[in-house]
Structure 1
Amino acid sequence: MELLTDARARHFVPDKYVFPPEKRPALLPDSDSPGVAFPVIDIHPATLSDDRRRRLVVAEIIQAGMEFGFLQVVNHGVGEDVVRGFREAAAGLFALPAEEKLPYCSDDMSRHFRLATSTAFHRNQTCYWRDYFRIRCYPVTDEVTRHWPSKPPTFGISLAEYSTAVHELSQTLLRLIAEGLGLGANFFAGDLSAGVTQMNVNYYPPCPDPTVTLGLFPHCDRHLLTVLSQGDVAGLQARHDGRWLLVPAVPGALVINFGHQMEIVTNGLLASVEHRVVTNTTAARLSVATLVTPKMECRIGPAPEMVDEATNPAKYREFIFSEFMEAYAAADASRERVLESFKIHH
């Protein structure tokens, strides 16, 4: 397995990364989308402790979920030093000599920690301009941490701090979402969010020609909620009204997007929106996506409070989360194909 991070400097995009014209990214300048902006929401504890301001924040989160499926949060409680510490450790791992990374390279999706390139989906097709490692990161137990790499030396400590802080943030967000939907405050606190948390750390090297390739294919996340650190280099795009909009890199912010399970549980109210990654010519981009996941045996379906048989009947059947994961893999991560397996046609 040859990683992009180990390849010699590229002055052109190799053929295996070149997409056919109809699949190449068409970047939209900001002027094409006047007045469209992904919400940036302040969730400082002082804000949330004031009843009136808390209700406003909750309403903003629900509105963002309905309109975009994406939002950014600031004053979120994950310390800047914690974010920076793990991002630096992750960058250090990608920078290790090829021979030190080789034992971790694998396409075996069952491994607790693996390093790979492109994607585990769309095999034998055009490659994506991306190296990544996928790791089980929370809860921080001996069973999880024994699989973590020992280099760089700061990796384990910084990952434990970051994943614990992000877990606390995700639980705060899920409580706020439950409030906004009229569900019990702890609605999401059980099996719906208690699976082993996975993390994808993505590295997108500078690309000689971003117009002919993609960093990552259009997809929706199969989990409940994603917390993303994209640093100061933008590249994430989300689909909105049939167009791709760039999610800006807001200093200190973390990007939140809803996965398929959130859309299903809310009976389609909070959207799981397609997103992709584009490349650039000048700067490497590192993103850290933490995926809040149900337990594999969790039974999932629209919450009764989100269903009205007369005006808003259930759009999806009940299923076990492990069944969804199998369907997602079989559908090659296609939004339409995977959801079709669970839709109720009235």
Structure 2
Amino acid sequence: MEVLMSNWSNVVQSLPEKYIFPPEKRPGKDVFPVVNDVPVIDLERAKGHGRGDIIHQILDACQEFGFFQVINHGVPVSLMDDTMNVLKEFFGSSAEYKSSFYSTDINSKCRIYSSTMSYDNEEVHYWRDNFTHHCHPLEDQLLELWPDKPIRYREVVGAYSVEVRKLLLRILDLISEGLGLKLGYFDGELSKIQLLSVNHHIPCPNPSLTLGMPEHCDPNLISMLHQCSVPGLQVFHQGQWMNLDPMPNAFVVIPGLQLKVISNEKFTSPIHRVMTHPKEGRTTMGTFLIPSHDTLILPPNHAPLFRGFTYQEFFTTFTKNSCDADFALEYFKNKP
């Protein structure tokens, strides 16, 4: 079977056996509730007298929910739409062209792969293709790794990458102010690496038996998701799985585990996953800011709950233990 499902027909009549989860891991046919009280942050208000109120809203959201949506964020809607369209064109390009980017090397700076990083060895596959590449700094040698088809790919995705980075750094400045940290605390090494990660899901004949992405916490500093109009993102909230439905022209912001550490566990980093859809394809864009591998992570607090560690140490512990966030956090906690 062709590894990349974007090379399959969009009309799949039955779920291949390798995509059927064990009964205890299947999402089932339950009707999931929607998170109706998700915080919506109007960033335009942060430019004036409402700045303090917006900071308070963001900190409350990071503590109570672990996620929020931002509107009036400054990224042009036309650029968001253009980027989504260009990426859909890429996934619709020829199998031969896409295969030139196929790689299972996690260190590759531009690659497409299917399901997880160990497709040949995993017992069950996730219902997705993923295209990931580095986005910062936008130098010629980096851009040359990106697709040159569609012809506008580098121009459009490059402009989008710059705008969403500026937005995330604005949000981090508001967070640092709320935590009593110096302005620009998260600039530099703590946010040095920027990844664009695009998940593409074709229609699934039986969403109750499989998942588009596993339940997980993000190990990085901060994540921002640009959802399409097709629902699928779920968060584990109030003791149950709930749908976080798309909001037009908004971004979903999720603090990563490094923000949980730096906030000395004031923040939470939610468990989330992706469902499939029986009739419609779904493409979503995630932007992740990640510390450089040798960056020291330590709560700037007089009584830190965690001992200092490098991001590489954390990521290695996290991935070697089945991406178990609780295990990784407990491993680096200061012992009484």
Is TM more than 0.5 here? yes
Q: How far is 1:127 from its partner?
A: 0.5
Distance 1:190 1:132 in 2: 27
State whether structure 2 residue 314 is matched by structure 1 residue 324: yes
Gaps of 5+ in 1: none
Matches within 5 A, 1:213-224: 213-224=210-221
Among 180, 204, 209, which residue is 2:206 paired with? 209
Q: How far is 1:216 from its partner?
A: 0.3
Q: How far is 1:325 from its partner?
A: 2.0
Distance 2:137 2:16 in 1: 40
Distance 2:14 2:41 in 1: 40
1:172 aligned partner: 170
1:262 aligned partner: 259
Per the normalisation by structure 2, the TM-score is 0.95
Say if 1:218 and 1:274, in contact at 8 Å, map to a contact too: yes
Gaps of 5+ in 2: none
Q: How far is 1:65 from its partner?
A: 0.5
2:183 aligned partner: 185
Q: How far is 1:125 from its partner?
A: 2.1
- Which residue type is aligned with residue 6 of structure 1? N
Matches within 5 A, 1:233-252: 233-252=230-249
1:159 aligned partner: 157
SS at match of 1:58: helix
1:10 aligned partner: 12
- Which residue type is aligned with residue 322 of structure 1? Q
- Which residue type is aligned with residue 281 of structure 1? P
State whether structure 2 residue 84 is matched by structure 1 residue 87: yes
Say if 1:28 and 1:245, in contact at 8 Å, map to a contact too: no
Gap change, CA 1:295 and 1:229, over 3 Å in 2: same
RMSD across aligned positions (CA): 1.7
- Runs of 4 or more consecutive aligned structure 1 residues displaced over 6 Å after TM superposition: none
Say if 1:121 and 1:329, in contact at 8 Å, map to a contact too: no
Per the normalisation by structure 1, the TM-score is 0.92
Q: Deviations over 1:110-156 (max 9, x none)?
A: 11111111012684221000101110112211231121111111110
Quick one: percent identity of the two aligned structures?
33
SS at match of 2:333: coil
Q: Which moved more, 1:93-102 or 1:164-173?
A: 93-102
Q: Which moved more, 1:214-223 or 1:322-331?
A: 322-331
Say if 1:64 and 1:70, in contact at 8 Å, map to a contact too: yes
Q: Deviations over 1:214-261 (max 9, x none)?
A: 000011111101111012112111111221111110011001001010
SS at match of 2:208: coil
Distance 1:36 1:250 in 2: 11
